[in-house]
Structure 1
Amino acid sequence: MSPFTHLFISKSRKINFELSLIIRDLVNVPLVSGYYYVNWKLKNATHTTGSTARVHIKDHQVTWNHPINTMIQLVTNKQQILSTCELKLEIHQKGGKEIGSLSINLSEYAGSGVTTERYLLQDCKYNSTIKLSLRMNIKSDSVNTFQTPPLSRQQIFKDIPSIVHHTTKPIPSKPLLRKSQSAISLPKYCRIHASQEPSPVDLVEQLFAAKQVRLQA
């Protein structure tokens, strides 16, 4: 749906959301040097594009914890299901080389509270994954009801950390994931590290608290 078409949609079908998103980290990068950053794009929002800082890789991991705060206007269909709201991330190594990308539909997470997931990158030959924390709440002045589309779990990547970290437990004889996404397919030098970082809920709550202080000022 183009921005021009969006102008002719009935107000009763439009719903405003407050999006808080944190681009947290990238792991399983089989490289030992270089700076990495993320370009992001979002439609029907007050802030539609941006980039993270350039961060140096350490132990095959890049950590940004980059916050994004914006307003999004979504549209419902006749069944009151929210339209697609694509978030596109492009991960680059400084110098222009693209490591991979990710596209997710934010409408699937509307009104679900704080959600933290790790996603397998698209168009990436390394099995690298990126971690996001997000909260997408309906704005107080929006009274329209809505339904979310079903959550797509095709790229959500949860099972590898449990296999890698808990080495004292036996690894199942059959992989829980497709062969292309299994722990066996990862390079031996790619390890997922458990970092001592704040919880997703704390990060998002801090983000909202800072926003409220700025508004009161």
Structure 2
Amino acid sequence: MTPFTHLFISKSRKVTFELSLILRDLVNVPLVSGYYYVNWKLKNATHTTGSTARIPIKDHQVTWNHPINTMVQLVVNKQQILGNCELKLEIYQKGGKEIGSLLINLSEYAGSGVTTERYLLQNCKFNSTIKLSLRLNIKADPVNNVITQFQNPPLSRQQIFKDIPTIVRQTSKSSPPPLIRRSESAMSLPKYCKINTTSQDPSPADLVEQLFAAKQLHITA
């Protein structure tokens, strides 16, 4: 829906939400230097664009903890389903090189309290992931003090990614390893993470370092 079309929607179908969002960190970046930042865009909001500070990478990770607080106006359709609230993130290395992007529908989390998830970046050569914490709360009608009823759109979980150390801990147990889609595997985990029963098993942190080391050798070769 374009901003122009939004003007012709009945006021009874427009709902105001308060968005609190934190852009936490970027991990699984097989680079050792440079400064990184995020540009963000959000439609139908009090603040529609912004950018984080330029933060140096450390141990293949960039931490921003950048807060975004704004009001967004969304539309509830005739089936009482909440319209899209699309947040677009573009991650760059200082100098203009794009690392990747992310597009998610915040309406899927409306009214669910504080949610923290890690997402696999799109258009990213490194399969890097970004962590977000968000809360989208509806505001009562200031005149009638009434809260509009709504339903969330279906949750799209294909981009949600579990941390690599969590996956490694799971594979070290006696239970079968979890299934990981090829598109979501950071660097073909089965190639590097073997399950051994000896007491010399490497720790999850050691395995992560091996992943980055192997990726770095592949890049420099």
The aligned residue for residue 61 of structure 1 is: 61
**Unpaired runs of at least 5, structure 2:** 190-209, 215-221
After superposition, residues 25-174 of structure 1 pair within 5 angstroms as: 25-141=25-141, 143-158=147-162, 160-165=164-169, 168-169=172-173, 172=176
Q: Secondary structure at the match of 1:84?
A: coil
2:206 matched residue in structure 1: none
State the alpha-carbon separation in 2 of the partners of residues 160 and 118 from structure 1.
11
Higher RCO (C-alpha under 8 Å, 6+ residues apart):
1
Checking the alignment, whether the CA contact within 8 Å between 1:27 and 1:62 is kept in structure 2 is: yes
> What one-letter code is carried by the residue in structure 2 that aligns with 1:3?
P
**C-alpha separation between the residues in 2 aligned to 1:95 and 1:151?**
35
Question: Residues 140 and 148 of structure 2 are in contact (CA less than 8 Å); yes or no, is this contact kept in structure 1?
Answer: no
The 4+ residue runs of structure 1 with deviation greater than 6 A are none
Q: For 2:149 and 2:171, how far apart are their aligned partners in 1?
A: 47
Q: 1:128 to 1:183 in 2, by over 3 A?
A: closer
Give 1:215's aligned residue: none
Q: Once the 2 structures are TM-superposed, how far is the Cα of residue 72 of structure 1 from its aligned partner?
A: 0.4
Give the deviation of 1:190 after TM superposition. Answer: 6.8
| Selected match of 1:180 from 152, 162, 183 | 183
TM-score w.r.t. structure 1 length? 0.82
Number of matched residues? Answer: 190
Between structure 1 and structure 2, the one with the greater Rg is 2
8 Å contact kept, 1:22–1:134: yes
Instruction: Tell me: CA distance 1:97–1:159, structure 2 relative to 1, closer, same or farther (3 Å).
Output: closer
Structure 1 unaligned blocks of 5 or more: 192-217
CA 89–171 in structure 1, closer or farther in 2 if over 3 Å, else same: farther
Residues 41-92 of structure 1, C-alpha deviation per residue, up to 9 Å, x if partnerless?
A: 0000000000000000000000000000000000011101011111000000
Query: 2: CA distance between counterparts of 1:11 and 1:161?
Result: 48
Moved more, 17-26 or 74-83: 74-83
In the alignment, which residue of structure 2 is the partner of 1:205?
Answer: none
Cα–Cα, structure 1 residues 183 and 52, in superposed 2: closer, same or farther, change >3 Å? closer
Q: Percent identity?
A: 81
1:181 Cα shift?
Answer: 1.8
Q: Partner residue of 1:214?
A: none
Distance of 2:213 and 2:14 partners within structure 1: 44
Which residue type is aligned with residue 212 of structure 2? Y
